[in-house]
Structure 1
């Protein structure tokens, strides 16, 4: 019997997906300011919890990270069945899109925003509807409401926004929620919630707006990016399909133990937050002194909107020993928290300005 020539073909939508960017020089530079990682290592209690859990690595974790879910439910004053855990908030976003969208539906989101959004929307088979940010690099609430159609099944809101760091006020979030029909899911991505200045609390809002799902993560303020721990909070009726779409044993026992220990160590988290706040001030002040104005940031990063100069600035940063995340033709995102890295970025900015082509 002759074997057929050729290989299996993926869905055409997969081939058309955008590619998640890679930061130039991230593997060779002295400082990595390109991925919004915490610049302070986990505290001893977290490291010890990881080691203890590793001793039992031959055993499966609990089905749904029961210990972490219970701790989060108590912290947030919600019932346990309103909380889901997963391997990073991206895994939970994928579950939400899988459960509530699909072919023939649309997902409205701001743009520029988190670059994974159009990828995950495409994987779900839905159509992304990007809405440009306003002139202040913020979500344009009125334009997002105007983009809703009968095919809209979800609205994605990144607050604070990645990569611009800009925030919506509670009044603006409420205006958006009031403008979205109750049958449309609103996903509030609060990955940078702990760093925010406005302190909009999506968990409190979902008590009034049961069509809301809140996503949060242990990757940023808790410094567990390498362990991949995220969580979602939703009205139990909305959460039920998310539970159904969740893979069993979705969070390793090592990751769960680390997250429980990190959640309990508020002093360490406080040190991380304080470092970020002072570092944002330092970097933005230095950029302003060089003639570059930046939007106020509610994340652990600063957005440098240099437009056509993006590629040159990113290359200069690598040459000065620090990687940053560049979005061609738009700007550069710089993670803060490491003073030497921030100074390297400022030196790169001065280099670019000094060698700017005339005319």
Structure 2
């Protein structure tokens, strides 16, 4: 008899990240992974260099300095913060800790493609619910809740839609869920939404809400993989018991602490994103494309159909530009385009205008 993997593992479809190369192009403009066009702040770069000299020293296991910095910047309780290898790991913690074979995990049809993977990793059953016009519909989520439901995984703002569920509706959903069902608010893009806390106030006042955040997008540290979560102290205690003690290196911790404290850099990046997002959205609409208002650092451009989207993608690639096909997210007729700097936005507009006029 051969060894057999745990239930659910062979149901996992391997995650596909954004492309980073185009045949025949030595240098490409990569707008497929929602990365910060300005990169990490100089303060974080300096912290990385300084921390590299101490790479022979084991990092602290409690992440106390980083948790304190996050708490100071966001006005939170550091004892209710957990840090992980990207917010993905925090999502893995909560699914592993609270779901298993026979349980169900709800996610929406256009949510992060890692959600069904995480459910299968835990041996649970992913339950997909429909959205309404590319927006989360809380009535559909609540209708899907059964006695087997353990978690609801919700991306807000949505990826790849960029749409935002208002805070009042988040509170309504949290209040309507049974107390033994955990609402996980994946707020990887919330900083770009302007003034929303991503559910941190809900997590502060309710025992069954977890908010996850990342350093990969706004802070430009995607290559280092750092994220964090905020929840009731009792839940954080459970998650910490399955966290590897040295899951974050000294270099990761130093870079993240410097980045979160660099509020001037944050404002610079948010201003650039807001300006170029508006510019890109307006130009795409002038080209006759359907584009919802985005609350993230990308826009979802919807074409007449899959064939037109493929043709536009080919035109962009011919111009050395990589964007994201999102058929796997339920949008075969669309392209997700990361908001770049002014030059990058101009290149996208020029390439698509030439394609449209050809």
Alignment of structure 1 residues 339-358 onto 2, 5 Å: 339-354=342-357
CA distance in 2, matches of 1:22, 1:68: 28
Structure 1: segments with no counterpart, 5+ residues: none
Please tell me whether the aligned partners of residues 13 and 125 of structure 1 are also in contact (alpha carbons under 8 angstroms): yes
Question: RMSD across aligned C-alpha pairs, in angstroms?
Answer: 1.9
Change (3 A) 1:43 1:97: same
CA distance in 1, matches of 2:351, 2:42: 35
Could you say which residue in structure 2 is the equivalent of 1:45?
43
Q: Indicate which of 206, 209, 213 corresponds to 2:203.
A: 206
Stretch of structure 1 that moved more, 69-78 or 171-180: 69-78
Local SS of the residue matching 1:85: strand
1:42-72 deviation line (CA, Å, top 9, x unaligned): 2332111111111010111001322101222
Please tell me whether the aligned partners of residues 320 and 347 of structure 1 are also in contact (alpha carbons under 8 angstroms): no
Q: Does 1:16 align with 2:11?
A: yes
CA distance in 2, matches of 1:9, 1:312: 44
Q: Please report how far the alpha carbon of residue 198 of structure 1 lies from its aligned counterpart in structure 2 after TM superposition.
A: 5.9
* TM-score normalised by length of structure 2: 0.92
Stretch of structure 1 that moved more, 329-338 or 155-164: 329-338
Stretch of structure 1 that moved more, 306-315 or 254-263: 306-315
Could you say which residue in structure 2 is the equivalent of 1:334?
337
Stretch of structure 1 that moved more, 337-346 or 208-217: 337-346
Q: Does 1:323 align with 2:322?
A: yes
Please tell me whether the aligned partners of residues 64 and 251 of structure 1 are also in contact (alpha carbons under 8 angstroms): no
Stretch of structure 1 that moved more, 156-165 or 115-124: 115-124
Stretch of structure 1 that moved more, 310-319 or 211-220: 310-319
Could you say which residue in structure 2 is the equivalent of 1:138?
135
Please tell me whether the aligned partners of residues 46 and 262 of structure 1 are also in contact (alpha carbons under 8 angstroms): yes
Q: Indicate which of 220, 239, 242 corresponds to 1:242.
A: 239
1:244-284 deviation line (CA, Å, top 9, x unaligned): 11111111110110111111111111111111001110100
Stretch of structure 1 that moved more, 345-354 or 181-190: 345-354
Aligned structure 1 segments of 4 or more residues deviating by more than 4 angstroms: none
Q: Please report how far the alpha carbon of residue 300 of structure 1 lies from its aligned counterpart in structure 2 after TM superposition.
A: 0.6
Local SS of the residue matching 1:226: coil
Local SS of the residue matching 1:188: strand
Stretch of structure 1 that moved more, 305-314 or 122-131: 305-314
1:321-347 deviation line (CA, Å, top 9, x unaligned): 111111121421111022333233334
Stretch of structure 1 that moved more, 22-31 or 309-318: 22-31
Stretch of structure 1 that moved more, 113-122 or 229-238: 113-122
Structure 2: segments with no counterpart, 5+ residues: none
Could you say which residue in structure 2 is the equivalent of 1:280?
277
CA distance in 1, matches of 2:236, 2:19: 39
Please tell me whether the aligned partners of residues 26 and 34 of structure 1 are also in contact (alpha carbons under 8 angstroms): no
How many residue pairs get aligned? The number is 349
1:87-133 deviation line (CA, Å, top 9, x unaligned): 10001100010001111111111111211111122111111111122
Please tell me whether the aligned partners of residues 169 and 200 of structure 1 are also in contact (alpha carbons under 8 angstroms): no
Q: Indicate which of 280, 286, 291 corresponds to 1:289.
A: 286
Q: Does 1:176 align with 2:177?
A: no
